[in-house]
């Protein structure tokens, strides 16, 4: 067998430099594609607004345009009538000079009660809002437009996304945690330095998610989302264990096998009073129907492979950043295993008005117990 040649001096540094160059090229390609797409959407939104204003066209022109664009470009997604209306809303929201000036002024001076002046606008932003929005993927824009009303807050989250490469789910969690409001209370124009570290791979992936599928870029799962999931899972595990009265921690990323494949449950507990395994899956994004199917699959495996002779059926809990109750209802309609779906909230500390008003251990016990079908309750 031929021996491997010795590693030359400084070779590892050389490999690291080449890897960085590849990631930079991927990011540049993704940003270029994303920029062109966002500016296209801006121009389409502007064209619709101008034609409606100049020629008195009604909203039906959006449906007609969507139909014609889909016929002309059948292999390109993004030209539905709903998305065209979002393009129009996107343009209207960010093209109004008064809104732009108000957002920049608020960024400069901060909250009126602090009296603190922030960095000059020239240091804060590019000269036009068009340059800002072009750096952010379309899915992020829809999230900000749907979740945020204040123009200065929108500007904050757009800038943070462009600078740090936040994924959509990380952006959603930053909004839920009130990152903008915390930056105001601290008298700072931003808290980017304390945010999760930048990752070129994630920035490229996020640009691609909202643009086109360029497989040659080969970008994997978002790195920072995984860090966020790990952090939340640790906090959730500690919180549940602090409740006591029956919860026993089994494992994090608990391994299940079926055939030659492996599967991993985020958190697995055993409840001594319910005599049941409790599987918890933590999702940093919105609820998706496939989450229910996956949890149902996990519970089947637990019941088949790890449930004790005297144990009751395993229970599944899906925690997500947000949920649509109707979507959850339909996703769980045919599931035979007991599965609960809850929306978590991000709070830096317990609000004063809630102290002493949290449910008792018995109430928490009953809440978990209530997820079991009546025939299976202890």
Q: Bigger pLDDT: 317 or 371?
A: 317
Confidence class of residue 119 from pLDDT cuts 50, 70 and 90? very low
pLDDT at 156 over 80: yes
Q: Beta 315-322 vs 339-343: how paired, if at all? A: parallel
Query: Picking from 44-58, 159-173, 328-342, 345-359, which range would have the lowest pLDDT averaged per residue?
Result: 345-359
Query: Picking from 65-74, 127-136, 147-156, 300-309, which range would have the lowest pLDDT averaged per residue?
Result: 127-136
**pTM, two decimal places:** 0.63
Sheet with strand 315-322: strands edge to edge = 247-258, 261-271, 276-286, 315-322, 339-343
- Tokens, residue 124: 């804060």
6 within some domain = no
Tell me which range, 8-22, 40-54, 111-125, 338-352, is most confidently predicted by mean pLDDT.
40-54
pLDDT at 170 over 60: yes
Q: 332 and 192: one domain?
A: no
Q: Domain containing 257: what range?
A: 226-345+353-376
Q: 53 and 187: one domain?
A: yes
Of 172, 191, 217, which residue sits at a domain end? Answer: 217
Burial class (CB in 10 A: 0-12, 13-18, 19+), 102: middle
Burial class (CB in 10 A: 0-12, 13-18, 19+), 112: exposed
Confidence class of residue 167 from pLDDT cuts 50, 70 and 90? confident
| 60-71 pLDDT tens trace | 889 999 999 999
What average pLDDT does the segment 256-261 reach?
89
Task: Indicate which CATH number applies to the domain containing 265.
Answer: 3.40.1350.10
Q: 233 and 209: one domain?
A: no
Distance between CA atoms of residues 273 and 75, nearest Å: 55
- Tokens, residue 41: 């959407």
Number of domains, the chain? 2
């Amino acid at each position: 067998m031929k021996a491997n040649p010795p590693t030359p001096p400084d070779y590892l540094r050389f490999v690291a430099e080449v890897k960085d160059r590849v990631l930079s090229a991927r990011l540049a390609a993704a940003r270029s594609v994303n920029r062109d797409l966002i500016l296209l959407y801006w121009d389409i939104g502007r064209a619709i607004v101008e034609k409606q204003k100049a020629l008195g066209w009604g909203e039906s022109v959006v449906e007609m345009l969507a139909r014609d664009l889909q016929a002309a470009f059948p292999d390109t997604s993004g030209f539905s009538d709903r998305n065209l209306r979002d393009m129009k809303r996107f343009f209207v929201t960010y093209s109004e000079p008064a809104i732009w000036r108000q957002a920049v002024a608020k960024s400069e001076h901060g909250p009126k009660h602090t009296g603190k002046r922030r960095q000059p606008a020239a240091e804060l932003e590019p000269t036009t809002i068009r340059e800002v929005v072009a750096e952010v993927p379309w899915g992020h824009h829809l999230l900000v437009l749907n979740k945020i009303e204040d123009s200065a807050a929108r500007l904050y989250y757009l800038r943070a996304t462009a600078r740090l490469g936040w994924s959509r789910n990380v952006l959603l969690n930053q909004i839920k945690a009130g990152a903008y409001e915390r930056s105001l209370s601290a008298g700072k124009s931003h808290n980017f330095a304390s945010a999760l570290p930048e990752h070129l791979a994630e920035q490229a992936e996020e640009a691609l998610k909202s643009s086109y599928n360029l497989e040659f870029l080969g970008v994997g799962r978002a790195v920072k989302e995984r860090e966020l999931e790990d952090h939340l899972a640790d906090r959730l595990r500690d919180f549940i264990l602090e409740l006591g009265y029956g919860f026993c921690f089994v494992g994090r990323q608990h391994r299940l096998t079926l055939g030659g494949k492996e599967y991993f449950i985020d958190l697995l507990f055993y409840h001594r009073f319910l005599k049941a395994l409790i599987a918890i899956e933590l999702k940093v994004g919105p609820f998706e129907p496939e989450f229910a199917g996956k949890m149902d699959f996990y519970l089947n495996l637990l019941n088949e492979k790890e449930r004790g002779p005297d144990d009751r059926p395993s229970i599944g809990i899906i925690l997500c950043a947000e949920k649509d109750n109707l979507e959850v209802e339909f996703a769980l309609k045919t599931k035979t295993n007991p599965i609960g779906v809850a929306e978590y909230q991000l709070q830096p500390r317990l609000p004063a008005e809630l102290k002493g008003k949290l449910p008792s251990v018995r109430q928490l016990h009953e809440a978990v117990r209530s997820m079991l079908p009546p025939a299976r309750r202890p």
